[in-house]
Amino acid sequence: MGRLYAKGIFTGYTRGLRNQHEKTALIKLEGVNNKEDTAFYLGKRVAYVYKAKVKTRCTAPGAAADRTRVIWGKICRSHGNSGSVRAKFAKNLPPKAMGHRVRVMLYPSSI
Amino acid sequence: MVFRECSCSFNAHASKKQQMSLPESRTEKGDQNEQTPFFKKKKKKNSDPAKSFSEKKRDSCSLESGQILILLTGRHRGKRVVFIKQMRQSGLLLITGPYSLNGVPLRRVHQKTTITTTTSLPLSTEDFQVPPFVDDSYFCTKKKPKATLESVLEDVGDKEKDEVSEERKSLQRKVDEAVLDSIKRIPYMGDYLSQKFSLSKGQMPHKMNF
């Protein structure tokens, strides 16, 4: 198929030193190292893809039941000066996803 | 969910308060600095009474006919397709593969789910015109009649397959004819359109020029 998403890593939740707020996730995007570069990704949809034991029905037409599941979200704003980004998901990301891959889609596209 | 930075600013226009003055006290323009308040005319937005609301809503996109787009969603994701025109009513973009090159038929697509490349085919409107009946209602899915108990008991087994009508096929061939013509004139364009787009290692979308 080919990759149609930018790679990101879920680094953690927004937090102070001793308290974290799980409603907003911090994403480190690959190749994005400053705040100006994050402008491209604002508003883009993000997906945390994971596998579970029980097969669930796929949304793709004619696809068989699959173990793959997704939590969808959106990049809402930049975070800091070094290219990190904040994202809000439909359901908060599970903490086991920290340090793991998050897919940043290229849509809604503004180019 | 409210996303602050990515949405447009709603406080862009400060409301101009209209200062109405009594007709008697209104002076000439030159006497503004005196007691009477400056009479500000309310700024009218693009109010064109001739256009109905549904017509006004759709701004024409800045795409040229023949521009190559990359599809990002749907079953044809990653494919490079040719933009034909913007649909009048819905604002969706009408695209074609062409079908023989990459299997994408005449289709409507939302601009937000495509990447516009700077590559374009020279499709002039003189030799290439989509027939006028190709509009949004042509592509809308026809509603199936509600299944009643009798109809379900009648058609046992034989389900109607969604076959593409001959009309659609001939329309596809007709539109693709002109498009394929201009593709053949450009070297490697046919190969370019039949290959899918994908990101590879080291390719950062924010640094790419499409």
Model ipTM value:
0.88
Task: Provide mean pLDDT across the span B25-53.
Answer: 54
User: Pick from B73, B78, B115: which is nearest to A111 by CB?
Assistant: B115
Of all residues in chain A, the one with the smallest CA distance to B206 is A40
Say whether residue B161 is in contact with chain A using an 8 A CB cutoff. Answer: no
- Predicted TM-score (pTM) of this structure: 0.74
Q: What is the pLDDT of residue B13?
A: 46
Instruction: Render pLDDT for B43-54 as a digit per residue (tens, 0 to 9).
Output: 555 555 555 555
Q: Contact B162/B105 with Cβ under 8 angstroms?
A: no
Q: How many CA atoms lie within 13 A of A32 on its CB side?
A: 27
Asked if B6 lies within 8 A of A105 by C-beta distance, the reply is no
Q: CA of B205, closest CA in chain A: separation in Å?
A: 7
Q: What is the pLDDT of residue B9?
A: 45
Confidence of residue B8 (pLDDT cuts 50, 70, 90): very low
Q: CA of A56, closest CA in chain B: separation in Å?
A: 20
